[in-house]
Amino acid sequence: MASSREHLNREPVGAQTIGREQFDAAAGAAQASPVAVAARYSRTHHKLEVSFANGVDIAVPIALIQDLQMLAHAPTPAQLADVEIWGGGQSIYFPRLDESVWAPGLLSGIYGTKLWMRDLARQMGSVKSPAKAAAARENGRKGGRPRKAVASVASVTSSKPVAGAQALPSEPVSRAAVGPGVAAGGKVVVRKRP
């Protein structure tokens, strides 16, 4: 039988018990985590606005939150307006939908599963805008997408040979005539073979 003193240092958790030290460490970690102190649905902007204890306020478009988009029927503004803070500020609960959202995840920019976030990023990357179209046209005029930098470049002035390297002509000719292997001033550039 455990002594009464030993019993006071343990907190029951399910079928197991943890020591006071573990309990205090977990409580400290919970305090360090950002906790929501207020939440509301903005009907005019269609966003969930959340205020955290550390002074940060965020507004997340409802369309980005997976848990609210995966419902059988699209949530109404009245359902979204009824919002509560649960779990000591860790969850934002919508009672009329019986759905909750992880508050620290929203603050970290995590709105759903990895697959959801990847699809969301893919959709946002495919957005066409006049600025993107103008940038693509400008790159086309310049010969396409800018080339990646050569991985290993050395000047011939070095007396050490480069293993697997190929020397290009060293006559002082224009770069356009020879290609990208000749640097300004006619110096030869050595590149490794792929």
pLDDT of residue 3: 45
pLDDT band with cut points at 50, 70 and 90 for residue 86: very high
Structural domains of the chain, count? 2
Q: In this predicted model, what pLDDT tens digit does every residue of 147-186 receive, in sequence order?
A: 777 655 554 444 555 555 555 554 444 444 445 554 555 5
Inside any domain, residue 9: no
For residue 184, the enclosing domain spans 150-194
Mean pLDDT of the chain: 75
**Do the domain assignments include residue 93?**
yes
83 CB neighbour count, 10 Å cutoff: 21
Please indicate, yes or no, whether residues 174 and 118 belong to a single structural domain of this protein: no
The answer on 112 and 70 residing in a single domain is yes
- Is 57 domain-assigned? yes
Q: Taking the complete model, does pTM exceed 0.85, yes or no?
A: no
In this structure, the answer to whether residues 59 and 102 fall within a common structural domain is yes
**63: domain CATH number?**
3.30.2020.40
Residue 67 has pLDDT above 50, yes or no: yes
Q: Which of 106, 122, 138 is the last residue in one of the domains?
A: 122
Is 22 contained in some domain? no
What's the pLDDT at 121? 78
Are 105 and 50 part of one and the same domain?
A: yes
Q: Above 60 in pLDDT, residue 72? A: yes
Strands 153-155 and 165-166: unpaired
Establish if 132 belongs to a structural domain: no
Amino acid at 167: A
| pLDDT tens digits along 109-152 | 888 888 878 887 777 776 677 888 888 888 888 887 767 776 55
Would you say residue 77 has pLDDT above 90? yes
- Would 28 be classed as within a structural domain? no
Q: Does residue 110 share a domain with residue 52?
A: yes
pLDDT of 43 > 90? The answer is yes
Is residue 164 domain-shared with residue 104, that is, in the same domain?
A: no
74 found inside a domain? yes
Q: Is residue 170 part of a domain?
A: yes
